[in-house]
Amino acid sequence: MSIREYTGDSPLQIGLLGFGTVGKAAEQMLEENRDWIERRAGGPLAIKRILVRHPGKHRDDARRLTVDPFEVLDDPDIRIVVEVMGGMDPARHYILEALRRGKTVITANKEVMSSCGQEIFRAGDVGRADIFFEASVCGGIPIIYALKESLAANRIRSLIGIVNGTTNYILSKMTHEGWDFAPALEDAQAKGYAEADPSADVEGHDAARKLAILASIAFGSRVTPNQVYTEGIERVTARDIQYARELGWSVKLLAIAKEGDEGLEVRVHPTFLPQDHPLAAVSDAFNAIYVDAEPLGEAMFYGRGAGGKPTASAILGDVVAAARNLRSGGRAVSCTCHRELSCRHMSEVSTGYYLRLAVFDRPGVLARVAQALGDQGVSLTSVLQKLTQGDQAELVLITHRAREKDVQAAVAELRQLAVVTGILNLIRIEGVV
């Protein structure tokens, strides 16, 4: 009998790699909803072994605990390995070894799946084993299943998402409470939404990893995080958000992927979004992904994107699918990357721009600024003068759609003007023609 075959009514054995917040939530959800889950899985399930670093912290589960990963990987009775350790290594190594041994793997690891997806799928082919990773993006929102299967007949034109709950919570506090970035971050840390070191979230790297996974599936072409232009929210201020509101926009950290004639554009950065866009209303730590597809049209997937219970929900959904496959001899959808599309450099991407400048308040300043922009082919849709104090003022400029490299060249020229005392911020705008 091959390792993929499973018969009989005995429990299908699971090995758990990691027993932190998500691992414990998955076990608790399985126990609380066991009858419901097992009916859907086609039979009984049991967690046989749990890999931990410090067994002394989990005395109630001592009989199932191990510090040796090969007690999971080499156990022929364990058919499903659930990896919830996080990080690149040793998680990547354990995933590869499990797949090569023919064990189904379920993971929440966005770092491994975004950077090593091709290697992971190849290992699955070697072992004729499935890899499930719904929990790696947006917690309990079933976006990976939707892109791989429900929307398989569609051509995805664009995918725009709020995929990081920490930054969305911070920006929501800044929007609704008028806070600046630093106190909003402190509040997010106090409530457990942000880590002690929040750099992966606030600098956009977490969102970039998730976008790489989603774009690879949506467009059928491998995208890795180093191909995603990434910019965080540290420079967004309460004043920028106030001006955005006055202009009819909300500020969000968006993960944006689009296919065009010249390839893919994949980018993560703060964005002004029209207030009537469905994503503009997504607040606090919630996530949402807005998909434009042909022939479906527009659709949005919304829900809790992180935390023990939402992530455990996705993991156990994958456990049910894996158990069904093992009992029926079926296979999950494997790698969906069948094309090789190039990713456009950010300098070639076109969008609208919000530019906030500090200038001297004197005649002719606006003409000098407009000329510097015009020299680079950047035209303006509107100009607002704000906060005049003495001989200083703020200018808020909104551009028509322009190429990134032209805007950056214009900003460099503005820095050289004697009438400009500071480039206060530059934020891109979705929905500008």
Please state, in angstroms and rounded to a whole number, the distance separating the CA atoms of residues 47 and 337: 33
Q: Which element (helix H / strand E) includes 71? A: helix 70-73
Please identify which of the residues 48, 103, 210, 252 carries the catalytic annotation. 210
Residues with Cβ within 8 Å of residue 48, at least 6 apart in sequence: 13, 14, 15, 64, 75, 77, 78
Has 210 been annotated as catalytic? yes
Task: Tell me how many degrees the CA angle 398-400-402 measures, rounded to the nearest 5.
Answer: 110
Is-contact 207 168, C-beta < 8 A?
no
Is-contact 400 380, C-beta < 8 A?
yes
Do β-strands 286-294 and 297-304 pair in parallel, antiparallel, or remain unpaired? Answer: antiparallel
Helices (H), 256-391: 308-328, 365-375
Tell the burial category of 157 from Cβ atoms under 10 Å away from its Cβ (0-12, 13-18, 19+): middle
Q: How far is CA 79 from CA 30, 49, 136, 177, 417, in A?
A: 17, 12, 21, 50, 67
- The amino acid at residue 302 is Y
Cis peptide before 69 (omega within 30 of 0): no
Please state, in angstroms and rounded to a whole number, the distance separating the CA atoms of residues 203 and 296: 33
Q: Which sequence positions are flagged as catalytic? A: 210
